[in-house]
Structure 1
Amino acid sequence: MTHHSYDTLSGALNGLKQRGYTEDFNLKENCIICTSKPLELKPEEFDIEEVHRFEGMSNPDDSSVVYAIASTYGVKGVLVDAYGAYAEAITPEMAQKLRV
């Protein structure tokens, strides 16, 4: 497996898109949803293939993480979230899946 490294959030999103992670996912309590397809993925229906973390330039609290996700249905995309923001808002199964 090739290791990819990105300096910026936008660089990661562009690089992942060029490598086939074309869908945008949003985090829900017990699943992730695809914004362009009627698709909800439970934790057992997707794998996190890469994780890229970024810290804000002026504020370390302004941090984000990009997950490169592949579903069991062949759909690949990205999920962008803030560090720790999901800890209280999602099920333990989703938290465990995202703790990579």
Structure 2
Amino acid sequence: MASLSCSSSDSRERSTIMTTQESAPSFARDIQPLFRPADRVSMRWAFDLGSYQDVRAHAQAILGRLASGTMPCDGKWPEEQITLFRRWVEAGMPA
């Protein structure tokens, strides 16, 4: 597995996509929008953060880096977004 690192310094603007407690997050609706274009460019050398297959294949490593605050490289995600990503993983990573 490739190590995860990046070199972006974009501003930290992200909209949190909310899901209901009853529904599992989906990649297309909830997870893919969390990754900014600059995040995708920064990680392009390893895999595509816009690709369901790539993010699914690397989900545990991504979650570890998000939780530790080392991804994205220009600042930690808000806890709500990390929790959303974790819920998606725990739900079986639906498309």
Between Structure 1 and Structure 2, whose CA radius of gyration is higher? 1
Q: TM-score, normalised by structure 2?
A: 0.29
More helix by share: 2
Q: TM-score, normalised by structure 1?
A: 0.28
Q: Which has the higher contact order (CA 8 A, sep 6+)?
A: 2
More strand by share: 1
